[in-house]
Amino acid sequence: MCHYMSVVLLAIACLAQVPFAQPTEGHAELRKMQDILEALQTERKVMTERLKEFETEMKRIKETPQIAFAASLGGNGLMKTTSGNKDLIYADVLTNVGGAYNSQTGVFTAPIRGVYYIRFTANGPNNFPKSAVLYKNNDEIQLIAHEQMSGEGSDTASNGAALMLEKGDRLKMVLWHNTQIWDNSNHHSTFSGFLLFSMVDNRTTEMDFNAELKTLQTSVKELQAENQGLKEHLEAAERELRLVRDVPKVAFAVSLGGNGLQKTTSGSKTLIYKDILTNIGQAYNSETGMFTAPIQLIAHEQPSGEGSDTASNGAALLLEQGDTLSLQLWHNTQIWDNSNHHSTFSGFLLFPM
pLDDT tens, residue by residue, 11-46: 334 444 444 444 566 667 667 777 777 888 887 787
What count of other Cβ atoms lies within 10 Å of the Cβ of residue 138?
10
For residue 233, pLDDT beyond 90? no
Which CATH number fits the domain 65-202, given the four candidates 2.60.120.40, 3.40.640.10, 1.10.3210.10, 3.10.20.310? 2.60.120.40
- Domain 65-202 and domain 247-353, same fold? Reply is yes
Asked whether the predicted pLDDT for residue 164 surpasses 90, the reply is: yes
Q: Predicted confidence band at 105 (pLDDT cuts at 50, 70, 90)?
A: very high
**Residues 300/351, Cβ–Cβ less than 8 Å:** no
Q: Does residue 93 carry a pLDDT above 90?
A: yes
Residue 204 pLDDT: 43
Residues of the chain with pLDDT > 70: what percent? 80
- Whether 153 contacts 147, CB under 8 Å: no
> Using alpha carbons only, what angle is made at residue 226 by residues 223 and 228, rounded to the nearest 5 degrees?
110
Cα distance between residue 258 and residue 311, in whole Å: 20
Alpha-carbon span 47 to 94, nearest angstrom: 46
Distance (Å, whole) CA 58 – CA 314? 32
Q: Which residue has the higher pLDDT, 320 or 233?
A: 320
Q: How confident is the model at residue 71 (pLDDT cuts 50, 70, 90)?
A: very high
Taking alpha carbons only, the member of 155, 160, 154, 157 closest to residue 145 is 157
Please state the domain extents for the chain: 65-202, 247-353
138 DSSP 8-state letter:
T
Distance of alpha carbon 197 from alpha carbon 113, whole angstroms: 9
Class of domain 247-353: mainly beta
Q: At what angle do helices 24-63 and 209-245 cross, to 10 degrees?
A: 30
**Pairing state of beta strands 324-325 and 290-292?**
antiparallel
pLDDT at 27: 67
Burial grade of 350 (CB within 10 A; 0-12, 13-18, 19 or more): buried
Question: Is the pLDDT assigned to residue 247 strictly greater than 90?
Answer: no
The pLDDT confidence band at residue 136, using thresholds 50, 70 and 90, is very high
Q: To which H or E segment does residue 211 belong? A: helix 209-245
More confident residue, 286 or 152: 286
How far apart, in Å, are the Cα atoms of 40 and each of 30, 184, 205, 223, 232? 15, 69, 22, 7, 16
**pLDDT of 218:** 76
- Give burial (CB, 10 Å; 0-12/13-18/19+) of 71: buried
Whether 124 and 154 have beta carbons less than 8 Å apart is answered as yes
